[in-house]
């Protein structure tokens, strides 16, 4: 049964005495999709269920009974979603449920559909995992309301309907984090309680391994072929070195158009920067050889020894660059096991309170 929330409110005895009334929160992510990394937002269709005690209605029903809210003023925690973008599509209904001893609970169910803002941390890009959060808060102060994770209602995320499956992996874990928001009012500033309910999504990095990292690795590795040209033909060495460097710069400019523009360095930025520095040093070395083989008239034997020595130095440096990047990627990916090992939680799609019938207000 359902009806529109009453607009007339009253202060209950607990609020007047200064004790915060406990409101239990349960969230079901029915559908998640369209994670926009650059705009730092994502689409969500979620059910937010708030449950609190209403002593005034105790004894008016039997245990396990559900009724419409009577035609009287009821206390409202004034809950809303903090990180909405624009005006989301919301549908709300409210019920009265009786538990042990005829204790009355008001249950408010809110269906939220729309884009939600989320600050994305991209330091580990493209091996990153992101929190996709729904921030539940209230217009009331901490002295009036305490938002708590519902210990009896199971919060879940439905991974079967995830839209961005090709680019992201949605985990089945739900994380609750308490938060306090400061509010400046005309009378006096106060603090509002908040509850951040998050699910986890990890980026699928296979595309970047095959289309970015592997191409950059090949271009960098081709710099060693320059040493196949004799030291006397240093001009040819320089031509090939600069051709490879320009190819790298063009490729970098091309794939940079499709990745987020952030002010800090990511794992991918670090790898690209080290590769660019490595190729630049190669060009500088061959330029020095060109000068040395000219006016300085170094002997062929000396040039050969120098080439062998520098091949070893460059090979060692190139190995370190790629080993460091591989270790960084492995350490980030291994952390995902923490979320994958969480006991799977399945969403009952036959629940009429969530997907059909009675969700209509």
Residue 356 is predicted with a pLDDT of 39
Question: Are 127 and 62 found together in one domain?
Answer: yes
Cα 266–Cα 268–Cα 274 angle in degrees, nearest 5: 100
Q: Mind giving me the DSSP string for 90-147?
A: EEEEEEEEE-GGG-EEEEEEEEEEEEEE-----TTTTS-EEEEEEEEEESS-TTTEEE
**What pLDDT score does 293 carry?**
62
Q: Among 348, 340, 355, which Cα is nearest to 153's?
A: 348
In CATH, what number is assigned to the domain containing residue 319?
Answer: 1.20.58.390
Separation between Cα atoms, residue 313 and residue 325, nearest integer Å:
19
Quote the tokens at residue 257. 């158009």
Answer yes or no: do 167 and 294 share one domain: no
Please indicate, yes or no, whether residues 104 and 199 belong to a single structural domain of this protein. Answer: yes
Q: Are residue 97 and residue 181 in the same domain, yes or no?
A: yes
- Please tell me the predicted confidence (pLDDT) of residue 99: 80
Question: Distances in Å between the alpha carbon of 317 and those of 39, 221, 320, 321, 342?
Answer: 37, 12, 5, 6, 40
Q: Note whether 62 and 133 are same-domain residues.
A: yes
C-alpha torsion sign, points 135, 139, 141, 147:
negative
> Which CATH number is 133's domain given?
2.70.170.10
Token couple for 293:
């083989």
Four-CA torsion 114, 352, 153, 102, nearest 10 degrees: 130
Can you give the residue range of the structural domain that contains 20?
A: 13-203
| Segment 353-359 mean pLDDT | 39
Which of 12 and 334 is assigned the larger pLDDT?
334
Pair 226, 198 in one domain: no
Residues 195 and 66 in one domain: yes
pLDDT > 70 in the chain, percent: 80
Domain total of the chain? 2
Q: Does any domain span residue 83?
A: yes
Burial of 192 (0-12, 13-18, 19+ CB in 10 A): buried
Are residues 31 and 133 part of one domain?
yes
pLDDT given at position 15: 42
Going by pLDDT thresholds of 50, 70 and 90, the confidence category of residue 9 is: very low
Task: Give the domain-ending residue among 180, 203, 226.
Answer: 203
Q: Is residue 67 part of a domain?
A: yes
Whether residues 64 and 186 share a domain: the answer is yes
| Domain match, 220 and 289 both | yes
Of the residues 149, 181, 203, the one at which a domain ends: 203
- Dihedral sign from CA coordinates of 27, 33, 34, 38: positive
Answer whether residue 162 shows pLDDT above 60: yes
Whether residues 33 and 164 fall in one domain: yes
Would 345 be classed as within a structural domain?
Answer: no
Q: Over the range 226-259, which residues count as b (16 or more CB within 10 Å of their CB) and which as e?
A: bbebebeebeebbebbeebbeebeeebeeeeeeb
For 216-263, write each residue's pLDDT tens digit: 999 999 999 998 887 777 788 888 999 999 999 999 888 877 777 888
pLDDT digits (tens, 9 = 90+) for 126-136: 999 999 999 99
Choose among 128, 109, 145: nearest CA to 21.
145
Q: Which of 203, 221, 256 is the endpoint of a domain?
A: 203
Strand pairing category for 145-149 and 168-183: unpaired
pLDDT digits (tens, 9 = 90+) for 32-64: 988 988 888 999 999 999 999 888 777 776 666
């Amino acid at each position: 049964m359902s009806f529109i929330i009453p607009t007339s409110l009253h202060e209950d005895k607990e609020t007047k005495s200064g004790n915060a009334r406990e409101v239990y929160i349960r969230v079901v992510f029915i559908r998640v999709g369209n994670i926009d990394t650059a705009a730092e937002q994502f689409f969500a269709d979620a059910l937010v269920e708030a449950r609190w005690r209403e002593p005034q209605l105790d004894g008016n029903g039997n245990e396990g009974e559900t009724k419409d809210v009577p035609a009287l003023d009821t206390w409202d925690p004034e809950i809303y979603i903090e990180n909405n973008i624009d005006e989301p599509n919301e549908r709300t209904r409210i019920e009265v449920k009786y538990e042990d001893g005829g204790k009355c609970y008001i249950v408010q169910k809110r269906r939220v559909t729309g884009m939600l803002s989320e600050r994305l941390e991209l330091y580990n890009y493209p091996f990153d995992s992101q929190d996709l959060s729904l921030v539940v808060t209230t217009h009331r102060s901490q002295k009036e309301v305490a938002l708590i994770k519902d210990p009896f209602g199971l919060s879940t995320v439905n991974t079967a309907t995830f839209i961005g499956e090709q680019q992201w992996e949605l985990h089945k874990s739900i994380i609750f984090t308490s938060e306090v928001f400061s509010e400046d009012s005309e009378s006096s500033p106060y603090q509002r309680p908040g509850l951040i309910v998050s699910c986890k999504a990890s980026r699928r990095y296979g595309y970047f391994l095959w289309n970015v990292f592997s191409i950059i690795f090949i271009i960098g590795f081709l710099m060693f072929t320059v040493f196949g040209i004799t030291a006397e033909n240093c001009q040819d060495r320089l031509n090939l070195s600069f051709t490879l460097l320009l190819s790298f710069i063009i490729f970098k400019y091309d794939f940079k158009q499709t990745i987020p523009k952030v002010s800090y360095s990511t794992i991918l930025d670090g790898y690209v920067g080290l590769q660019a520095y490595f190729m630049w040093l190669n060009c500088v070395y061959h330029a020095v050889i060109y000068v040395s083989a000219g006016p300085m008239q170094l002997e062929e034997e000396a040039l050969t020894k120098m080439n062998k020595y520098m091949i070893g130095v460059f090979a060692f440096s190139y190995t370190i660059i790629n080993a460091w990047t591989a270790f960084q990627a492995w350490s980030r990916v291994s952390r995902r096991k923490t979320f994958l090992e969480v006991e799977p939680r399945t969403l009952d799609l036959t629940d009429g309170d969530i997907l059909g019938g009675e969700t209509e207000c």
